[in-house]
Amino acid sequence: MSDPSGIRLDAVARSFAGRGVIVQALDNVSLDCPAGSFTALIGPSGCGKSTMLRVALGLETPDGGSVSVAGLDPLQAAKAGVTGVAFQDAALMPWRSVEDNIALPLDVLGLPRQAHAAKIAGLIALVGLSGFEKALPGELSGGMRQRVAIARSLVTDPKVLFLDEPFGALDQILRRQMNVELQRIWMESGATTLLVTHGIDEAVFLADRVVVMQAKPGRISKIIDIDLPRPRRADAFASVEFHRLEDEIAGALDGQ
């Protein structure tokens, strides 16, 4: 039985109709993400990895199978503030300051801002933005905006964190810096995390295991455990074992 604090997908199917054909985005997909684990989804475009994340978030309704997030239906989990999410587009409100953007989920859930003032201040420090509390998004770099988005995803103390290519728009140097920061934030938060990424290096650096997906139909083709010790430093990207794991994942992708 899976841990009720984690994520569980059981025989999930999801299809879409388009241009006279049915696209099977997910076909009988089952996956358990234990509490506190970090799982990365990787695969070619159209393999269903973002669909899987959206189903787990409750943004898509599966055609078959079941999904639970921290023991709840995905929509119940979202309404309870159990889940947090960050996408490739930081999607910050341009008229709201850093602290006001971070507080947005509290406002949506009707939670008192003042009671969470210390939490907001702590998250700003956690993501390295102390001194920028009153700054507007237009005054921040791309990496700083993503830090705000990640802090916003953590403001309700979620048990489960969903990340859909949060650093996909950043250059490689900044992305690797953000990978190091995200690992630190994840280790401090303890949230069960599911990451969608196109970056093999990002998946190896961040995850406990990498789930390789195939397209047409969208299925899990292989799950690779990442046994690198934590915390992983920036020099881990150059290690022999790191490159071996990259090659294993690349081989699984090429084999499709």
Give tens-digit pLDDT for 39-72: 999 999 889 999 999 999 999 999 999 999 999 9
Closest by Cα among 138, 214, 141, 128 to 171: 141
d(CA 97, CA 131): 12
- Which part of the chain has CATH 3.40.50.300? 7-82+160-254
pLDDT at 3 over 70: no
Side chain identity at residue 94, one-letter code:
P
Q: What is the DSSP string of 24-56?
A: EEEEEEEEEE-TT-EEEEE-STTSSHHHHHHHH
Statement: the pTM of the whole predicted model exceeds 0.85: yes
pLDDT at 256 over 70: no
Q: Please give the angle made by the CA atoms of 54, 223 and 44, to the nearest 5 degrees.
A: 55
170 pLDDT band, cuts 50/70/90, is: confident
Q: Residue with structure tokens 């978030």?
A: 57
Helix (H) or strand (E) holding 84: strand 83-87
Residue 133: is it exposed, middle or buried by C-beta count within 10 angstroms (0-12/13-18/19+)?
middle
Domain 7-82+160-254 has CATH 3.30.450.70: no
